[in-house]
Amino acid sequence: MSIAIRDVHKAFDATPVLRGVTLEVPDGELVALLGPSGCGKTTLLRIIAGLEAADAGEVRHDGEDVSARSARERNVGVVFQHYALFRHMTVEENVAFALRVRKRPRAETAARVAQLLRLVQLDGLKGRYPQQLSGGQRQRVALARALATEPRILLLDEPFGALDARVRQELRRWLRRLHDELHVTSVFVTHDQEEAFEVADRVVLMNAGRVEQVGTPAQVFEEPASAFVMRFLGAVNAFKGWVEGDRAFVNGLDLELVAPASAAHRARAHVFVRPHELDIHRAPVPGSFAASVERVLPLGAAVRIELSAPGVGGAVEAELDVRRSEALALAPGDTVHLAPRRVRVFPSREDELDSLTASAL
């Protein structure tokens, strides 16, 4: 079932949380709502579920306006952040809940529950109570419960937030496989870029109540639409400068742009270079600037170099693969020359709202 959200606004006690969100989720897609805390992603999910009513705008499921329908009438599966399992019910009773309140025949309920428990690989634990389960198992019970009535939309709020790193890894892959099997239109909320990229078909980047960009993980990473997206996805070196035509300037440093920013006249701008798109040379090359090595941090497959470049206003980070790093044999105190392979520039907006700085993330 497709989801269409048009110009949805929502405020809590006069604090705007969503400022005109428009979003399409095609049938059968798995979409991640990604953004820092306080960007409105959970509120948007709750509006889709019907747990919260939008102040303005509309929500359509399969083209049908559901704004007036309660959560109960929408037949949407929801997995809550803290699972929200019924503590006094066994795993089996939890999963059967939606079928029992619908007064489905007993045999049908039993068969469906058994099927779901096999699906989430918990058939051996059906008599347990939630507090006797591990976090990952609880999460799977919550998922089985949400899928009981075969909803055509599945919503997940920070589904792996409360789990430890290894379980999270496993569950992510498992959720992806499950989605490929069931093809239920799914939306999940996360603040973890890695999680969004690994699981989702498409990523919706949200900031301060607005959608900043929608695209596949590769698209949003390679072609970020705004300074916010650039900064939110992965490590980045950010400089303040200005842009004119196809050149960017940072403190008198003249940087050539690969993809020209659309600034016909001189404008203040954010200039970004990702650490892995910064080459380190022993000798100056065209377009390079000088820096001195402060620290060399081996991170496994890559090596992170922390440098200080007074020319661009301070600390800079670069990332090299191990081979290149070995070839350079950098040591703290060395003077090197940095040449950006790719520079991205976003003209500064006067009305910039940024939940990254607002929430001190």
Partner 1 sequence: MSAGARRGVLPGFGLSTGFTVLYLCLVVLVPLSAVALRSSSLGWEAAWSVVASPRALASYRLSFGASLAAAAANVVLGGLVAWVLARYRFPGRAVVDALVDLPFALPTAVSGIALTAVYGPTGWIGRHLEAAGVRVAFSPLGVTLALTFIGLPFVIRTVQPVLEDPDPEVEEAAAVLGASRWQTFRRVLLPALLPAAITGFALAFARALGEYGSVVFISGNMPMRTEIAPLLVMTRLEQFDYAGAAAIATVLLGASFVLLLAINRLQAWTRARAGAA
Interface residue list for partner 1 (CB under 8 A)? 49-51, 70-72, 74-78, 80-82, 84-88, 97-98, 100-102, 129-131, 145-146, 148-149
The rounded distance, in Å, linking the Cα atoms of 128 and 141 is: 11
Measured from the CB atom, the residue of 40 and 151 that comes closer to partner 1 is 151
> Is the Cβ–Cβ distance between 116 and 96 less than 8 Å?
no
- Nearer CB in complex with partner 1: 186/226: 186
3-state secondary structure of 229: helix
Q: From the CB of 46, what's the least distance to partner 1, in Å?
A: 9
As measured in angstroms, the least distance from the Cβ of 274 to partner 1 is 38
Please report how close the Cβ of residue 93 comes to partner 1 at its closest, in angstroms: 9
Nearer to partner 1, 129 or 221 (CB): 129
- Nearer Cβ to partner 1 (127/314): 127
In the complex with partner 1, the residue whose CB is nearer, 71 or 297, is 71
User: At closest approach, how far in Å is the CB of 272 from partner 1?
Assistant: 38
| Kind and range of the H or E run holding 141 | helix 135-147
Residue 158 carries which side chain, given as an amino acid letter?
A: E
Q: What is the DSSP letter of 349?
A: P
Residue 11 CB burial class (10 angstroms; 0-12, 13-18, ≥19): middle
Write out the two tokens for 304: 């992170």
Q: Which CB, 74 or 274, lies closer to partner 1? A: 74
Phi-psi map region of 354: left, alpha, beta (phi>0 left; psi -120 to 50 alpha): beta
- Exposed / middle / buried, residue 139 (Cβ in 10 Å: 0-12, 13-18, 19+): buried
Shorter beta-carbon distance to partner 1: residue 71 or 322: 71
Euclidean distance between CA atoms 296 and 304, whole angstroms: 6
Token output for 273: 């270079």
What is the Cα–Cα distance from 261 to 187, expressed in whole angstroms? 33
The CB-of-127 to partner 1 minimum distance in angstroms stands at 13
Minimum CB separation of residue 129 from partner 1 in Å reads 5
Residue in 112, 75, 107 with CA at minimum distance from that of residue 95: 112
- The structure tokens 């001190």 sit at 360
CB of 264 to partner 1, least distance (A): 51
